[in-house]
Amino acid sequence: MRPPFSLVFVHGDGSRVLRLNVPRWLGYATLAIPAAIATVVASLGAARALIAYQRGELAGVSDQYAMIESFRSGASSVRAELASWKALHASMWEALGPEVLGAPKDGGVGGIPEPASEHRIAAGPQDELALLLATVAEEGPRLRELERVIGRTGEVVSALPLRWPVRGRVNSEFGRRPSPWSGSAEHHSGLDISTPPGTPIMCPAPGRVVTAGSGGDYGRHVVIDHGNGVRSLYGHMSKVDVRPGQEVDKGTLIGLVGSSGRSTGPHLHYELRVAGKPVNPRKFLWDGAE
């Protein structure tokens, strides 16, 4: 058996005061305790650092998840907006007529259609983005073609008589009415706009003067061809300021309001004809036009 450890306590003057024998196992245990405590403290510090790191990683993952959810929500809104654009484009194409889509192809075709891109379920943000880009790529050529057609349509619309030639109260509307002379029912082919005699009559749209003269029920009157089968007529004028064959622009002075021809008082009879048939001018007139 190995001898125990001896602890000697010495006085300050060098004289020995006390000798204490300690078993070896107790000495080793005493030395091991601080090392064990240091090890535990180090382990706790490492665990604390690991927990802090994991918390940071978890926060980062949570932020990434929130960003992904935000992106998916935004992508869903964009897809809904693109779907509404498609519906609007379809309605505009229908309004503009099928001929703008090109001539039909000969023969038949068949097959199973691929589901629309907006109906496929995306597995992740990259797939969501790919679907959006595909949808935009599909709509791009349609938008450019629609822009071309609308531009062409705009040129036609700009030539239509959409403005009031004079401003005033409408005494008689287009359609059936009692005759001002006999009281029996008759068809009135235009609008009778009440305004003082001598009021300037302005051309509502570009065109070419077809008729400028006097005679008949309209008295002094003017007829202007605006193209595309649309003509306008101005009756019961006191003065005509244009001549047949003259090219006129929007805002050109046509003449002055009067009461010539078959009329009960000063007013302008304003009439529109499409393909030779009178139509209600109110379907063309913009109330906000000046």
**pLDDT, tens digit, 9 for 90 and up, residues 138-174:** 767 777 777 676 666 666 777 789 899 999 999 999 9
Q: Which domain holds residue 63?
A: 5-73
Decide if 263 is inside a domain. yes
Give the pair of three-digit tokens for residue 2. Answer: 């190995």
Decide if 133 is inside a domain. no
What is the H or E stretch that residue 208 is in? strand 207-213
**pLDDT, tens digit, 9 for 90 and up, residues 164-213:** 999 999 999 999 988 877 778 889 999 999 999 999 999 999 999 999 99
Among residues 288, 284, 286, the alpha carbon closest in space to that of 190 is found at: 284
In the listed set 73, 98, 126, which residue is the last one of a domain according to the structure? 73
**pLDDT, tens digit, 9 for 90 and up, residues 45-92:** 777 777 777 777 777 777 766 776 676 666 677 777 777 767 766 766
- Count of domains forming the chain: 2
Q: CATH number for the domain including 252?
A: 2.70.70.10
Q: How confident is the model at residue 134 (pLDDT cuts 50, 70, 90)?
A: confident
Decide if 124 is inside a domain. no
* Winning range, highest mean pLDDT, from 6-10, 57-61, 127-131, 198-202: 198-202
> What distance in Å separates the CA atoms of residue 188 and residue 23, rounded to the nearest whole number?
132
Decide if 101 is inside a domain. no
Decide if 92 is inside a domain. no
Decide if 109 is inside a domain. no
In the listed set 73, 94, 123, which residue is the last one of a domain according to the structure? 73
How remote is the C-alpha of 4 from its chain's centroid?
95
Decide if 108 is inside a domain. no
Decide if 45 is inside a domain. yes
In the listed set 24, 41, 73, which residue is the last one of a domain according to the structure? 73
